């Protein structure tokens, strides 16, 4: 979609050039044709560079580099620690059989198994459910329901008591919620630090962590930032408590704020009418570029004040897919007739020259960026290739990098260049047109 916005801004800039109308028509026809010729290598070339050529230039094994970086980020603990992630958690009921456990408080029991994030959810004594209080003492024969990571549950059964099947006791409601990070006390903290905050994280488990459209690794060293979306699961009271600490719980994740969407489009169209006259050449973002910039600003505003602008992920994917399909279809309809005419007049050599030019434009910034990032800035190889994927705003490239490295750690370097690249690529359309017009003049 960024490529469509860049092409749109470029076409708007061409339409504003002080040149004859027949030349404008020719340039406007050549632009989508060149885009169609180079479109495939734009993604394929980047994927090959990130997964094959780039690692060879760096003399790096992506899987080994990913493991070493994860180890470094985790402080050498190999992912251990008191963290929010709960990919394999569960609820179980046990009877207190071990006499050494009887007499201890609920808070002490939870502290003993804090590594597995254990929380006592219910306690039955003599057929009566008791209110859970940290200072409440356990007695022999008590039945408790605990939530924890599954490895901890097996250890709990060996050391505390046998598992019991009590449908009434286990009838615990579970809530899943998407929480947007807005709290300054959470922003900048790692998952390990958040997990160690028992007041916030007790009984809450993390299903996913998303920044924009990108899933982040659920590792102890992953740092949470404002606007990130944590999908958490637990009993309703625990989830609501965690939501108050973290930020804002999106209550209706299936609702699309159409007024917000339409308002953003209208505002983008209005901004697209604005142009700056530089050296007699009008420059502007155009409709596509202005809508993208408004969307970026609106997304930032929603991350700060998440009470408006809800657009669920399935709706976002639908809009993106439809937009991309329409974009490609329009390019085909626009470039098709001109492509036949151009082939008849210039032959296959002209098409090959455009394709080779596209290869140069694709690969040159990747090679330069890799050299500067690795040998000037001294960045880790995984951060280098992850950042290059983000700078090229290429999600397929990031997915290929995940498969090649067997890790999600490259995402950490992807998000910031991705946001900056979206803006620069869009703005660059009229700039390129202005430069080429100046050279031609």
253-279 pLDDT tens trace:
667 788 888 888 898 888 878 877 766
Domain-located, residue 112: yes
The residues near 327 (Cβ < 8 Å, ≥ 6 apart) are 1, 4
Of 227, 250, 273, which one is at a domain's C-terminal end?
250
Structure confidence at residue 296 as a pLDDT band (50, 70, 90): confident
Question: Does one domain contain both 147 and 182?
Answer: no
Of 250, 274, 304, which one is at a domain's C-terminal end?
250
Question: Does one domain contain both 337 and 307?
Answer: yes
Distance CA 1, CA 321 (A): 9
Domain-located, residue 85: no
Q: Report which listed range, 29-43, 138-152, 249-263, 410-424, is most confident.
A: 138-152
Residues in the chain: 441
The residues near 101 (Cβ < 8 Å, ≥ 6 apart) are 109, 138, 159, 160, 161
Three-state DSSP class for residue 418:
helix
Domain-located, residue 125: yes
Tell me the residue range of the domain where 147 lies.
98-161
Question: Does one domain contain both 261 and 370?
Answer: yes
Q: According to the model, what pLDDT value does residue 252 have?
A: 66
Q: Is 188 left (phi over 0), alpha (psi -120 to 50) or beta?
A: left
What are the E-state strand segments in 246-366? 247-250, 276-278, 281-283
| Closest-CA residue to 176 (of 82, 94, 89, 118) | 89
pLDDT, one tens digit per residue, over 398-412 is 889 988 998 888 888
Q: Decide if pLDDT at 57 tops 90.
A: yes
Q: According to the model, what pLDDT value does residue 284 have?
A: 67
Question: Does one domain contain both 157 and 281?
Answer: no
Over residues 106-112, mean pLDDT = 90
Question: Does one domain contain both 23 and 67?
Answer: yes
pLDDT, one tens digit per residue, over 93-104 is 999 998 888 889
Of 250, 279, 299, which one is at a domain's C-terminal end?
250
Question: Does one domain contain both 106 and 134?
Answer: yes
Q: According to the model, what pLDDT value does residue 81 have?
A: 45
Q: Decide if pLDDT at 216 tops 80.
A: yes
Question: Does one domain contain both 210 and 339?
Answer: no
Record the pTM.
Answer: 0.66
Asked if residues 269 and 262 have their Cβ atoms less than 8 Å apart, the reply is: no
Query: Which class for 290: exposed (0-12), middle (13-18), buried (19 or more C-beta within 10 A)?
Result: buried
- Which of 138-147, 183-192, 343-352 comes out lowest in average pLDDT? 343-352
Residue the block writes with tokens 């605990």: 146
Q: Decide if pLDDT at 83 tops 60.
A: no
Question: Does one domain contain both 283 and 425?
Answer: yes
Strands 143-149 and 89-95: antiparallel
Q: What share of the chain is helix, strand, coil (3-state, %, to 5)?
A: 60, 15, 25
Domain-located, residue 328: yes
Over residues 78-82, mean pLDDT = 47
Asked if residues 365 and 393 have their Cβ atoms less than 8 Å apart, the reply is: no
Q: According to the model, what pLDDT value does residue 22 have?
A: 80
Domain-located, residue 88: no
Question: Does one domain contain both 204 and 280?
Answer: no
Domain-located, residue 309: yes
| Closest-CA residue to 389 (of 357, 421, 353) | 421
Question: Does one domain contain both 359 and 215?
Answer: no
Instruction: Report which DSSP code applies to 138.
Output: P
Q: Which CATH number fits the domain that encloses residue 130?
A: 3.30.70.1450
Domain-located, residue 84: no
Domain count along the chain: 3
Q: For 121, phi and psi rounded to 5 degrees?
A: -100, -35
Question: Does one domain contain both 179 and 276?
Answer: no
Q: Which residues pair with 148 in a beta bridge?
A: 90
Q: According to the model, what pLDDT value does residue 79 have?
A: 46
Domain-located, residue 55: yes
Question: Does one domain contain both 283 and 402?
Answer: yes
């Amino acid at each position: 979609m960024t490529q469509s916005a860049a092409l749109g801004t470029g076409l708007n800039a061409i339409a504003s050039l002080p040149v004859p109308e027949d030349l404008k028509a020719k340039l406007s026809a050549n632009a989508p044709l060149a885009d169609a010729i180079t479109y495939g290598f734009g993604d394929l070339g980047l994927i090959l560079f990130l997964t094959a050529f780039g690692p060879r230039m760096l003399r790096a094994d992506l899987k080994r580099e990913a493991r070493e970086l994860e180890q470094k980020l985790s402080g050498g603990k190999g992912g251990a620690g008191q963290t929010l992630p709960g990919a394999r958690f569960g609820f179980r009921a046990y009877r207190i059989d071990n006499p050494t456990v009887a007499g201890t408080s609920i808070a002490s029991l939870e502290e003993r198994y804090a590594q597995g994030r254990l929380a006592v959810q219910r306690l039955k004594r003599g057929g009566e459910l008791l209110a859970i209080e940290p200072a409440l003492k356990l007695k022999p024969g008590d039945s408790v329901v605990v939530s924890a990571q599954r490895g901890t549950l097996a250890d709990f059964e060996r050391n505390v008591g046998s598992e019991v099947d009590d449908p009434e006791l286990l009838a615990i409601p579970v809530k899943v919620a998407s929480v947007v990070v807005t709290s300054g006390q959470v922003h900048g903290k790692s998952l390990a630090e958040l997990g160690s905050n028992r007041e916030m994280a007790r009984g809450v488990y993390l299903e996913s962590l998303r920044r924009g459209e990108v899933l982040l690794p659920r590792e102890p060293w992953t740092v949470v930032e404002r606007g990130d979306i944590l999908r958490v699961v637990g009993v309703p009271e625990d989830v609501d408590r965690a939501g108050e600490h973290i930020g804002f719980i999106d209550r209706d994740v299936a609702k699309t704020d159409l007024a917000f969407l339409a308002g953003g489009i209208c505002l983008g169209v209005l901004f697209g009418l604005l142009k700056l006259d530089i050296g007699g050449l009008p420059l502007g973002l155009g409709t596509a570029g202005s809508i993208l910039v408004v969307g970026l600003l609106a997304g930032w505003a929603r991350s700060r004040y998440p009470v408006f602008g809800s657009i669920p992920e399935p709706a976002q994917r639908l809009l993106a897919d439809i937009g991309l399909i329409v974009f490609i279809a329009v390019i085909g309809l626009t470039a098709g007739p001109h492509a036949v005419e151009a082939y008849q007049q210039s032959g296959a050599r002209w098409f090959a020259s455009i394709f080779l030019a596209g290869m140069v434009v694709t690969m040159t910034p990747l090679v330069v960026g890799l050299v500067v990032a690795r040998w000037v800035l001294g960045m880790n190889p995984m951060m280098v290739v992850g950042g290059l994927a983000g700078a090229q705003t290429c999600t397929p490239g990031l997915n290929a990098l995940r498969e090649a490295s067997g890790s999600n750690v490259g995402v950490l370097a992807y998000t910031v260049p991705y946001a900056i690249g979206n803006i620069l690529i869009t703005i660059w359309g009229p700039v390129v047109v202005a430069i080429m017009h100046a050279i031609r003049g």
